[in-house]
Amino acid sequence: MRRYIGLILILLSTLSMAEELKGKGFFLGVDLERINVEGTYSSKLYNFENDESYTRPAFKVGYQYYFTRVYFKYSQLQEDYVPYDVDSDSYEANVEYIPILYRADSYAIRLMVGASIGYTDNEMKDLDPSSIGNVHEALGLNDYSQKKAIYGFQLGVMMELSVGLSAELGYRYREGNLLEFDDDSGDITVETKRKQYYMGLNYMF
């Protein structure tokens, strides 16, 4: 019985600590992501790989409840797979476990471990017929668009302040197909693996 009473007291003490640091509430956030995209382009006629890096902003809205937070993230990425340009709007739902690693009077440092699932709304456009002849016409890929699933995980640390502000630094990994097309004329697949290093600011209200 004493063991259970002790566990309850520890839990209540931890929740009280989180409450002092505004441990629950809705929040808005903005991230700056540095992304390395490893792309593989494959079709019946052409195969090549592309490796590029980008910097882009991302926007978040969600809810934090003590040691868990759930949020939606939106970002846009333009990826150049010569002779194709791919515009990709990313919509993600994320869930994270955020235990407190260290606490002081006015701030706390949290670990962030989470998973993500969502989709990308992709458009292939601005085709360059001089590079591949008329293959884009044969494949019917002029201004071709498609929604594809994307998934991954993230890991990072967050410094949470008592005034409702927090700053975070982390790593995200995302994987999925940007485009898939298949008919009697041919097929094409653009696969990507995205490694993202980011820093962000959040405000809880």
pLDDT recorded at residue 181? 57
pLDDT in tens, 149-179: 889 999 999 998 877 899 999 999 988 766 6
Architecture of the domain defined by 2-204: Beta Barrel (2.40)
3-state secondary structure the chain: CHHHHHHHHHHHHHHHHHHHCCCEEEEEEEEEEEEEEEEEEEECCCEEEEEEEEEEEEEEEEEEECCEEEEEEEEEEEEEECCEEEEEEEEEEEEEECCEEEECCCEEEEEEEEEEEEEEEEEEECCCHHHHCCHHHHHCCCCEEEEEEEEEEEEEEEEEECCCEEEEEEEEEEEEEEEEEEECCEEEEEEEEEEEEEEEEEEEC
pLDDT in tens, 45-55: 666 676 778 88
Cβ-Cβ contacts under 8 Å for 71 (sequence gap 6 or more): 27, 29, 60, 61, 62, 63, 93, 94
pLDDT recorded at residue 7? 57
Domain segments of the chain as ranges: 2-204
Q: What residue ranges of the chain have pLDDT lower than 70?
A: 1-22, 41-48, 50, 78-86, 124-145, 177-190
